[in-house]
Structure 1
Amino acid sequence: MDHLDVAADHPLLRLGRLLAGRGYRFTTLTPLSHQRVNARPGNAEARTLEDVFGWSRPFRQALVGEEVFALLREADAVDAHGELWSSRIRWSSLDGQLFVHSRYPTVDADAVFFGPDTYRFAQALHQHLARDARALRRIADIGCGAGPGAVLAALARPQAQVLALDINDRALAFTAVNARLAGAANLTPRHSDLLQQVEGPLDLIIANPPYMLDPAGRAYRHGGGEHGAGLSLAIIEAALQRLAPGGSLLLYTGVAMFGGADPFREAFQPLLDGHAWTWRYREMDPDVFGEELDNPAYARADRIAAVVLEATRPAHD
């Protein structure tokens, strides 16, 4: 099923345009940093739009004004807390665009994530596209979430058909809003488990999948498999089957490192080498989500690193 239609009067689209017109900007932090900032004296109640839609602080109706509040009500995106209200959505800025996603804290099973991994993924995508001068016809973003990767790819390659894929209908709904807000008319959100609901070859596959071991099994966070790499490996296997000759995979993910060993590389290298694919692999950040090392699932891990894999199928098999 494709999620194509976001009407011009959609309340979230109108809200995004209103916020953009007012110069709204917000850079999203890790949950732990967010918690620390919100816990500071004086931060219990919102005083600005950034407090409402970035920091997810409770607010008084008069702060946001009648127009913003009416749009929140129309979108069913606001909760009452006595005399205060809280937004169910957040807005984050990236590369001059605004993206709607889930509020803090992201505890719902169908929460839609946006955070520091998103910014690193965007950097990796820009770097990849700068090196790839091919005429890309079909691009797929697997596990698109709020759609930042798909939107940026669509804007960078306006001649390409970009498929934003996810199994989370809330993510697809947010992606549809974000794509229209950005003017990415060549982007199509589609419900798909990996590439199962997509036909035909692809020229570029991009992905920023969950990579943590989450005891609650939340889809936006849980990578599955051993040490959280299960979904990342499944994406590589899907790319091996579906990329067109000369096509590429850009995968941003996280890896638990053990005594200097990289179990993710040990798992994917035989797959790619066995198909004679060329690939580049690097660490973008050697230490992310360090607080997770206290969890039993990471009892033997030294660190969690953010990594980027770029793999290309031979032009002639």
Structure 2
Amino acid sequence: MELTQQQEALISIGDYLKANHYLFTTVTPESHRRVLERPYDSEALRSEHDSLRACFGWNQWVCADRLPPSFESFFNDESLFQVEEKKSKRVVKAKFRFSTLQLEHSNLIFVHSGYPTHEGNSVFFGPDSYRFANFVREKVKHGDQKFPLRILDLGCGSGVGAISLAAFLNKTPERFIERAPKFIFTDLNEKALEYACVNVRLNEQALTLDQCEFVKSNLFDEIKESADLVIANPPFIIDDKKRAYRHGGDHFGCSLSATMFSKSVDYLGRDGRVLMYTGTSIVNGE
């Protein structure tokens, strides 16, 4: 996948954040809303570190001169930043966010959609992303099957599942893995694939772009080969606007998960398995 100008910009920003030990754990949208309701003065930020977290974690307005000079060229890109004049100061607001995931052997960083995620092509990252990543790693770590060599992240979003699994496999002694695994990132949302590609590039300690394939596909429609492992974290709620990143479909939000699972089973190779992190609908207490 040839990188776009926007992807190159996100990689430059993400690399800077990593080099400066940026850390940010994503909270729920409701918690985020409450934080943004608190009194806030961007000129009162005490350090560049605070400014980076305010801009790229909380998506707050930040004085442009409180951010690294190397970011200046990105502020004119309307797909990345909003720019305004407030109190004779130029302030900027990012249209994306960076969150971090700390593992035993490495710290990972992920770009995803800015708050709030109203657009239909939003790329989700939230508390369930951390749970999904932990779930996949633990199941592979403690499973009795051989380590997978061809892994498909179905509806990959930011790519957190595959990338965090790759970080674990990368620390596994070579005698347990025949060769470097191949990762297929698939999503119907082109923006998700673009962000997943950026996130692979930002986390090259876990895997490289040479190990990856990015496929725009409605489930398995464009996938030609079977896999040893399919991982998925489908949406499982009912969204009135039917936004793809959060709408789980009919049957109280369960239909997409059920369809993903049944089609994944047919797609698996010999001794393959599916690891799906999803939810169960509770209606009238049942």
Q: Is the structural similarity TM-score above 0.5?
A: yes
Aligned residue identity for 2:96: I
Pairs aligned (count)? 258
Distance in 1 between the 2:273 and 2:43 partners?
47
- Select which of 29, 50, 64 maps to 1:61: 64
Helix, strand or coil for the counterpart of 1:82? Answer: strand
Any conservation in 2 of the 1:53–1:87 contact (CA below 8 Å)? yes
Aligned residue identity for 1:163: I
Name the residue aligned to 2:177.
none
Q: Deviations over 1:236-259 (max 9, x none)?
A: 111121111211100001222235
Deviation at 1:216, TM superposition (A): 0.9
Deviation at 1:157, TM superposition (A): 3.5
Deviation at 1:43, TM superposition (A): 6.3
Name the residue aligned to 1:244.
269
Aligned residue identity for 2:163: V
Name the residue aligned to 1:92.
99
Aligned residue identity for 1:52: C
Alignment RMSD? 2.1
Unaligned runs of 5+ in 1: 262-317
Name the residue aligned to 1:297.
none
Deviation at 1:7, TM superposition (A): 7.8
Aligned residue identity for 2:132: F
Any conservation in 1 of the 2:42–2:62 contact (CA below 8 Å)? no
Aligned residue identity for 2:158: A
Deviation at 1:66, TM superposition (A): 2.1
Deviation at 1:75, TM superposition (A): 8.1
Name the residue aligned to 2:74.
71
Name the residue aligned to 1:194.
219
Helix, strand or coil for the counterpart of 2:117? Answer: coil
Distance in 1 between the 2:133 and 2:44 partners?
29
Any conservation in 2 of the 1:46–1:59 contact (CA below 8 Å)? no
Provide TM-score, normalisation by structure 2. 0.84
Deviation at 1:180, TM superposition (A): 1.0
Distance in 2 between the 1:72 and 1:100 partners?
17
Distance in 1 between the 2:183 and 2:2 partners?
16
Name the residue aligned to 2:24.
26
* Structure 1 position 180 matched with structure 2 position 201: yes
Unaligned runs of 5+ in 2: 46-50, 171-179
Helix, strand or coil for the counterpart of 2:278? Answer: strand
Helix, strand or coil for the counterpart of 1:256? Answer: coil
Provide TM-score, normalisation by structure 1. 0.76
Question: Which deviates more, 167-176 or 62-71?
Answer: 62-71
Distance in 1 between the 2:160 and 2:27 partners?
16
Q: Deviations over 1:150-179 (max 9, x none)?
A: 212233345111101101111100100100
Name the residue aligned to 1:270.
none
1:45 and 1:238, CA in 2 relative to 1: closer, same or farther beyond 3 A? farther
Name the residue aligned to 1:222.
247
Question: Which deviates more, 82-91 or 52-61?
Answer: 82-91
Name the residue aligned to 1:80.
83
Give the alignment of 1:1-317 within 5 angstroms.
Answer: 4-6=1-3, 10-42=8-40, 47=45, 48-73=51-76, 76-83=79-86, 84-95=91-102, 96-132=107-143, 133-157=145-169, 159-183=180-204, 184-185=207-208, 186-258=211-283, 261=286
Identity of aligned residues (%): 33
